[in-house]
């Protein structure tokens, strides 16, 4: 059994759960990465699969640790090693010392405490030695992840202990082959024409829940309404099956609210405001997912236009988010410089310096407004959708940003 098939077996018990859909996506990326020689991507996705499933286990058992709760009882702060390692609920729930030991071997962290630290293809071992991630490293990680997920499946009574042992024994490098024509969790459906990957990276920090002085509305509620308008606009232009959109929210938690998919398949999205502004961690996650989506297109021979990264934020990143800012800024600047993404920031505020700094040489366009009414929020997202449509209609693959509609009279532009 393939890694992704095992995760799908768990997903089949709770088919509408977004976390399980994301786990399937990560498992697919892990196996595809290994098969295509992207070993650092395989390691990272193996880890993300396990952490997403552990997060699912916590929420399913209503066992979220106090230090990982947010003001919104339905969310969890950023998933980290505390979910698996140490005296945690998962250790007691899984009740298998070997699996906890395997989890320790898989551990990833920026401070170098674990077996692997993966950053742009470099593996740092626990003793501080650095080298490139190789095939052996990648298979070690994906097989360890497979063992952990198999134990979760056994605990959920999806597989027996005997079957789990057979599955683990049979999982070898020969089990991992490139999967043509498969989107994580569902068959590929390619409408003829160029596809456009798009990330909506949205600030859901506490201040997004404060009342708007212009019309008395709450920005987070207006944002939810605007997402519906975005979907309607793409559908009206008959491109909803050519635009694959991923929605990521960021506050204390970086949440993939909607994995990459055509907007015609979106479920209901209802964002909540809480916590602080982890802007850089949000950008980091967006970059990772854009790169994975591009790999997916290439492996399935899907023609695609340059990805879009739409960013909406209402403030400066919080202090605890600054530790990775230089690294994230450099990554995004390089992507923009090499035409790997179209960066399209919008600020609810007036100090555009921070969002401009992510452009190469810190110079580029930032649109901004001090506040937006509910109607203006909707117009903003329709404007974004129009820019995507213009990209699809132009075969030159140029960056085409439509001018703001006349209704957005308060929107200003800084740069160029």
What DSSP string runs through 273-337?
--S---HHHHHHHHHHHHHHHHHHHHHTT--BPPPEEEEEESSPPPGGGGGGHHHHHHHHHHHHH
DSSP structural state of residue 415: -
Residue 344 has phi, psi (to 5 degrees) of -135, 80
Is residue 389 within 8 Å of residue 239, measured between CB atoms? Answer: yes
Same domain, 171 and 320: no
What does the pLDDT look like over 24-61, one tens digit per residue?
Answer: 888 888 888 888 787 777 877 887 788 788 778 877 77
Same domain, 392 and 267: yes
Q: Which residue has the tokens 């600054």?
A: 322
Last residue of a domain, one of 153, 180, 207: 180
Q: Is the pLDDT of residue 357 over 70?
A: yes
How large is the average pLDDT for residues 188-197? 68
Rg of the chain, C-alpha, whole Å: 21
Query: What is the structure's pLDDT at 397?
Result: 56
Same domain, 211 and 159: no
How large is the average pLDDT for residues 317-332? 90
How large is the average pLDDT for residues 383-405? 74
Last residue of a domain, one of 132, 157, 180: 180
Q: Is the pLDDT of residue 66 over 80?
A: no
Same domain, 215 and 349: yes
Q: In 198-299, where does DSSP find H-type helix?
A: 219-236, 279-299
DSSP structural state of residue 116: B
Same domain, 22 and 161: yes
Better-scored residue on pLDDT, 416 or 117: 416
Same domain, 156 and 275: no
Please give the model's pTM, rounded to 2 decimal places. Answer: 0.65
Is residue 242 within 8 Å of residue 233, measured between CB atoms? Answer: no
Last residue of a domain, one of 159, 180, 201: 180
Domain residue limits at 42 = 3-180
What does the pLDDT look like over 91-140, one tens digit per residue?
Answer: 566 666 666 565 555 554 333 333 344 443 444 444 444 556 678 878 88
Give the mean pLDDT of the chain.
78
Same domain, 233 and 359: yes
Query: What is the structure's pLDDT at 126?
Result: 41
CATH at 228? 3.40.50.410
* Across 25-39, 171-185, 268-282, 300-314, least confident range: 171-185
Banded model confidence at residue 219, pLDDT cuts 50, 70, 90: very high
Domain count, the chain: 2
Banded model confidence at residue 88, pLDDT cuts 50, 70, 90: low
Q: In 113-215, where does DSSP find H-type helix?
A: 135-155, 161-170
Same domain, 23 and 107: yes
Query: What is the structure's pLDDT at 70?
Result: 45
Query: What is the structure's pLDDT at 246?
Result: 93
- List all residues 6 or more positions away from 22 whose beta carbon is below 8 Å from its beta carbon: 52, 256, 259
Same domain, 239 and 364: yes
Same domain, 392 and 347: yes
Number of other CB atoms surrounding residue 211 within 10 Å: 10
Query: 366-369 and 186-187 as β-strands: parallel, antiparallel, unpaired?
Result: unpaired
How large is the average pLDDT for residues 310-333? 90
Query: What is the structure's pLDDT at 96?
Result: 60
Same domain, 363 and 339: yes
Same domain, 78 and 164: yes
CA 72 from chain center: how many Å?
Answer: 20
Q: Is the pLDDT of residue 86 over 70?
A: no
Task: Tokens for 127, please give them.
Answer: 């003793």
Q: Is the pLDDT of residue 256 over 60?
A: yes
Query: What is the structure's pLDDT at 114?
Result: 37
């Amino acid at each position: 059994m393939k890694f992704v098939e095992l995760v799908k077996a768990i997903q089949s018990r709770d088919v509408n759960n977004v976390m399980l859909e994301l786990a399937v996506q990560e498992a697919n990326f892990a196996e595809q990465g290994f098969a295509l020689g992207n070993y650092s991507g395989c390691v990272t996705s193996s880890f993300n699969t396990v952490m997403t499933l552990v997060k699912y286990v916590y929420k399913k058992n209503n066992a979220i640790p106090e230090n990982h709760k947010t003001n919104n009882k339905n969310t969890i702060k950023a998933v980290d090693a505390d979910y698996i390692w140490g005296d945690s609920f998962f250790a007691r729930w899984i009740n298998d010392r070997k699996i906890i030991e395997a989890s320790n071997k898989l551990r990833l962290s920026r401070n170098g405490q674990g077996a692997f630290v993966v950053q742009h293809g470099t593996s740092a071992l626990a003793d501080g030695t650095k080298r490139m991630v190789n095939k052996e490293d990648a298979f070690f990680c994906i097989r360890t992840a497979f063992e952990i997920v198999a134990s979760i499946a056994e605990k959920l009574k999806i597989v027996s202990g005997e079957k789990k042992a057979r599955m683990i024994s049979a999982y070898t490098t020969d089990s991992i082959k490139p999967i043509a024509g498969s989107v994580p969790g569902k068959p590929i459906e390619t409408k003829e024409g160029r596809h456009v990957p798009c990330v909506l990276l949205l600030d859901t920090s506490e201040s997004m829940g404060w009342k708007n002085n212009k019309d008395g509305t709450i920005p987070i509620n207006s944002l939810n309404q605007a997402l519906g308008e975005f979907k309607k606009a793409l559908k009206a232009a008959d491109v909803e099956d050519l635009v694959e959109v991923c929605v990521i929210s960021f506050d204390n938690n970086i949440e993939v609210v909607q994995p990459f998919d055509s907007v015609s398949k979106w479920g209901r999205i209802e964002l909540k405001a809480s916590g602080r502004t982890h802007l850089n961690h949000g950008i980091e996650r967006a970059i990772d997912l854009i790169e994975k989506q591009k790999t997916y297109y290439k492996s399935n021979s899907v023609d695609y236009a340059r990805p879009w990264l739409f960013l909406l934020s209402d403030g400066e990143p919080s202090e605890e988010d600054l530790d990775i800012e230089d690294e994230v800024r450099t990554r995004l600047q390089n992507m923009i410089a090499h035409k790997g993404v179209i960066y399209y920031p919008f600020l609810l505020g007036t100090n555009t310096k921070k969002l401009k700094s992510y452009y190469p040489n810190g110079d580029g366009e930032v649109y901004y407004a001090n506040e937006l009414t509910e109607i203006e929020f909707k117009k903003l997202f329709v404007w974004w959708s129009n820019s995507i449509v213009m990209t699809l209609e132009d075969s030159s693959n140029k960056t085409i940003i439509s001018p703001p509609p006349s209704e957005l009279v308060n929107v200003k532009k800084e740069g160029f």
